[in-house]
A and B are shown apart, each in its own frame.
Chain A
Amino acid sequence: MLSKRVIACLDVRDGHLAKSVRFVDTKNIGDPVAKAREYYEDGLDELVFYDITASSERRRIILDVVEAVAAEVFIPLSVGGGVRSVQDATDLRLAGAEKINVNSAAVRRPALIAECADAIGSQNVVLSMDIRQVTPDQRHPSGYEVVIDGGRTPMGIDALAWTQQGEELGAGELVVNSIDADGTRQGYELNLTRKISEAVRIPVIASGGAGLPGHLFDVLTEGKADAALVASMVHYGDYTVRGLKSYLHGRGVKVRMSW
């Protein structure tokens, strides 16, 4: 049986690890290469880098980080943040990323998903979505809307409709990030995650809100996610990857326990 995955997300700004709370107030918390190595040795199933560098040097910096990590971490690496073209995607793949996350640029120009799927294979294209709860209306029948540019720009698009469109265009996997839950440590948005997981055939990674091991259990069972993404929980040393996996294993969730 396939294991549920525990994925760590490292937000990288100017080559350093950063963690945001509700998408603002980012602070530096260390060296991404050292953290990646630490989590890998601790049984992490997959690693995501999110590039939040604003400077014009941004592409080179993230490529260097990915290259350094790929030389010593032998699990799938996924990279996102500012991917706007097939060229961005192939550059990151050459540096060592397995999967490429597209987000805002794909909402602005959905054909980007199909272009990336053609160039690097559907299974390597991850559609990452920042989603906010709204009052259900005609434009947002699911009660959730897509927001882009790091949570700043609402797009007037229904989140559920967008996930289905993304799957049709060739996304191989989805990251469902709840802006309402992000950084709160109050738990994942279970209702949103379950709705999306039930609406698509591709794997769903839940993101935003993890604070306690029980939150991972909830989203991997009730939330029907295939993978749970963690950040603050492990970055600040409150929990270890190994500890989270042991906890899930103890509660009967199938996770990889030998590495």
Chain B
Amino acid sequence: MPSGSAVIVDYDAGNLRSVQRACREVGLDAAISADADEVRRAERIIFPGVGAAGSAMQSLHATGIGAALVDAYRSGTPILGICLGLQISLDHSEEGDTETLGLVPGSVRRFRLTDPALKIPHMGWNAVEVLRPHPVLSEVKPGDEFYFVHAYFPSPANPGDVLAEADYEGRFCCALGRDNYVATQFHPEKSGRVGLALLKRFAEWDGHA
């Protein structure tokens, strides 16, 4: 049984209660916090978020939470980014031409699809293929699908940071990891049993890949 606690970072980027409920379901006591010091001191951190990169970064700067996340990353705290949380951990996002946190080298780009039958956002369930084993993804089996909602996708500069890919008129990175930071473009909290299993693995992770 996972023990300990986590802080879910609240930076005015969407509803965090569903993440909190899913954490509770796997035995992780997760408190929602908008306090930079609480984020800095957290045992582990979940960094979710939906919405636009630009306003999210403004909020992270204004509250000091952005700096706290960088400190926590450097001090080895296990961090799980989800969706927008993943996207703003890279250097730059095409969305609003935004400079982002830079925990992981790379950028975020918008889907440019040629098939008119493919919808934007990429919304629904898609298969996640693990390319590089990682403790947090250890229960993801070939063919397992996760729930996605996004119009932009991450493009890490270092191929070694790509943990998993999905396919939407071409393959894109849907999970990445570097040191004690791991992140998913999909929503584990809305992905049924396989998503809960991922959260449980994160709850047990010591931060070493």
Residues of B close to A201: CB separation below 8 A: 119-120
Interface string of B3-19 (1 = CB under 8 A from A): 00000000000110110
In the complex the two chains form, is A45's CB within 8 Å of B124's CB?
Answer: yes
Residues of A within 8 A of B18 (CB): 70, 96, 98
Chain A's closest residue to B126 (CB) is: A2
Cβ B124 vs Cβ A227 within 8 A: yes
- Alpha-carbon separation in the docked complex, A173 to B119 (Å): 10
Q: Which of A2, A93, A257 contacts B124 (CB 8 A)?
A: A2
Contact B22 A74 (CB under 8 A): yes
Q: Looking at the complex, which one of B122, B143, B196 makes contact with A2 (CB distance below 8 Å)?
A: B122
A203, B193: Cβ atoms under 8 Å? no
Contact-residue bracket for chain B: 35 or more
Would you call A45 and B125 a contact (CB within 8 A)?
yes
Closest chain B CB from A143 CB (angstroms): 23
A123 touches B123 (CB 8 A): yes
- Contact of A256 with B by CB under 8 A: yes
User: A3 an interface residue at 8 Å Cβ cutoff?
Assistant: yes
Answer whether residue B194 sits at the interface, using C-beta atoms and an 8 A cutoff: yes
Segment at the A interface, from B69-77, B99-107, B157-165, B184-192: B184-192
> Which residues from 103 to 124 on chain B have a C-beta closer than 8 Å to any C-beta of chain A?
117-124
The answer to whether A40 and B168 touch across the interface, beta carbons within 8 angstroms, is no
Complex contact A74–B190 (CB within 8 A): yes
B51 close to chain A: CB less than 8 A: yes
Please state if B21 and A71 are interface contacts (CB–CB under 8 Å): yes
Q: Complex formed: what's the CA distance from A93 to B118 in Å?
A: 28
Closest to B151 in A: A123
A202 on the interface (CB 8 Å rule)? yes
Q: Which residue of B lies closest to A94 (CB)?
A: B17
Given contacts A3-B124, A96-B18, A172-B121, whether A74 and B167 have CB atoms under 8 Å apart is no
- A226 to B121 alpha-carbon distance, docked (Å): 12
Residue B147 is within 8 A (CB to CB) of chain A in the complex? yes
Contact: A74 with B196, CB < 8 Å?
yes
Bound complex: CA A45 to CA B141 (Å): 18
In the assembled complex, A13 has its CB within 8 A of some CB on chain B: no
Determine if A151 is an interface residue (Cβ-Cβ < 8 Å): no
- Which of A40, A172, A224 is the most central at the interface, judged by chain B CB atoms within 10 Å of its CB? A172
With beta carbons under 8 angstroms apart, the residue of B117, B143, B168, B192 that contacts A75 is B192
Since A203-B123, A258-B145 are in contact, a sample of 5 more A-B pairs with Cβ atoms closer than 8 Å, ordered by chain A residue number, is A2-B125, A2-B148, A75-B192, A76-B147, A172-B123
Q: A-B pairs with the 10 shortest C-beta distances?
A: A256-B145, A256-B125, A3-B125, A203-B119, A93-B15, A123-B149, A259-B192, A2-B126, A2-B124, A76-B190
Would you give 23 A-B contacts (Cβ < 8 Å), ordered by A? A1-B127, A1-B168, A2-B148, A45-B124, A70-B18, A74-B21, A74-B22, A74-B189, A75-B147, A75-B191, A75-B192, A93-B15, A96-B17, A120-B15, A121-B50, A123-B50, A124-B50, A173-B123, A202-B120, A224-B117, A226-B123, A258-B143, A259-B145
